[in-house]
Amino acid sequence: MTPLLDIRGYRLAFDGFEGRAEVLDGIDLAVQPGETVGIVGETGCGKSVLARSIARLVEMPPGRVLGGSIAFEGQDVFAMDGRALARLRGHGVAMIFQDPMTYLNPVFSIGSQMVDVIRAHDRAEGRSMRARPAARTRAAELLAAVRLPEPDRLLDRYPHELSGGMRQRVLIAMALSGEPRMLVADEPTTALDVTIQAQVLRLIAELVATRGLTLLLISHDLGVIGALCRRVVVMYAGTVVEDADAGLLFDRPRHPYTRGLLAAVPDLARPDHRVAGIPGHIPNLLAPPGGCRFHPRCPLAIPRCAAEKPGLRDVDGRRVACHRAEEAA
């Protein structure tokens, strides 16, 4: 089966005042249609820049692709012209982010913004643009689909009149308006209260199931990932270190970093959760450590780890990037 998303050897850097930061260092990740994949890792490990890269949303410059490729439905994302890109962003992969307010315009009503988005998708799909009243009817249907009450009244309201949870539902409704194949949700509930968080996560799970969406869910919270995803990808300092079925990963993690993350799970109840299981910090990506980027923090490090970068390989039914994966069970 052709993967829906196929990322191979993808390397991304940011050029800045202090030099070049190599923030993604050879990412390999293929996602099949219908999969639900979680990406987890500490702050700064590259989850968001990877997600944004899929829809070519990383600003270049300062970003610069150093190598590798990203294909969606077999099409090279970096070779797409404006029209193909607009189609990718509507009908291909829809994104939702942590802070919905950033993506809503405070001076226009919800309805006016949704109508514009719906008509833009018509244009991207090469259809004749529907009239505004028809687009408004569609917007109301979408608001109902994300379980917002009284959609018609809501369309006339402004973003600041809505709660954070309602705004996130509006953004999800907008994401659905292009009938995407894949939903990429980057910390979609991190900014919300715990009870609202659970409701929005349930909504995402329901939409994924009923619409057959492929899901890429990014979170630093393993509990959130475990609730929604069948497969988990663990990132560390711009690399994929483990990629496994969720059950397998939670029961028998192989990578020392994954083991550290799981050791910190009791802290997940704390909103400001830190990875307590792993001493130290992620490295400065302006001068990342050679070999395995985790070696300065790894309890199992041996001299080879500083000299040779471990590639992802199949061990015990999953992919793991560690020279000592066999011993780390």
CB of 317 to ligand SF4, least distance (A): 18
Identify which range of 41-49, 115-123, 150-158, 319-327 contacts ligand ATP by CB under 6 A: 41-49
How far is the CA of 91 from the CAs of 12, 52, 117, 132, 227, in angstroms? 25, 16, 12, 20, 26
Site residues for ligand ATP, window 57-76 (CB under 6 A)?
59, 62
Please tell me whether residue 99 adopts helix, strand or coil conformation. coil
Contact between 46 and ligand ATP by CB under 6 A: the answer reads yes
CB of 142 to ligand ATP, least distance (A): 27
- Among 99, 271, 92, smallest CA distance to 184 is for 92
| CA distance linking residue 259 with residue 195, whole number of Å | 28
Site residues for ligand SF4, window 247-286 (CB under 6 A)?
255-256
Q: Are 316 and 299 in contact (CB under 8 A)?
A: no
Helices H / strands E in the chain, number of each: 11, 12
Tokens of 85: 């890109």
CB of 246 to ligand SF4, least distance (A): 21
- Among 224, 267, 266, 268, smallest CA distance to 246 is for 224
Q: Are 169 and 203 in contact (CB under 8 A)?
A: yes
| CA distance linking residue 184 with residue 203, whole number of Å | 14
Give the per-residue contact string, 12-31, with ligand ATP (x = CB under 6 A; - = no).
--x-x----x-x--------
Other beta carbons within 10 angstroms of residue 161's beta carbon come to 12
User: Under rule CB under 6 A, how many of the chain's residues touch ligand ATP?
Assistant: 16
Q: Closer to ligand ATP at the Cβ: 220 or 255?
A: 220
Tokens of 48: 């968001």
**Residues pairing with 216 in the sheet:** 37, 184
Site residues for ligand ATP, window 219-238 (CB under 6 A)?
220
Q: Closer to ligand ATP at the Cβ: 61 or 126?
A: 61
Please tell me whether residue 106 adopts helix, strand or coil conformation. coil
Contact between 293 and ligand ATP by CB under 6 A: the answer reads no
Q: Closer to ligand ATP at the Cβ: 5 or 162?
A: 5
Identify which range of 36-44, 76-84, 302-310, 319-327 contacts ligand ATP by CB under 6 A: 36-44
278 binds, among ligand ATP, Mg ion, ligand SF4, none (CB under 5 to 8 A by kind): none
Break the chain down into helix, strand, coil percent, rounded to 5. 40, 25, 40
Identify which range of 43-51, 139-147, 159-167, 313-321 contacts ligand ATP by CB under 6 A: 43-51
45 binds, among Mg ion, ligand ATP, ligand SF4, none (CB under 5 to 8 A by kind): ligand ATP
Sites of contact with ligand ATP (CB under 6 A): 14, 16, 21, 23, 41, 43-49, 59, 62, 220, 285
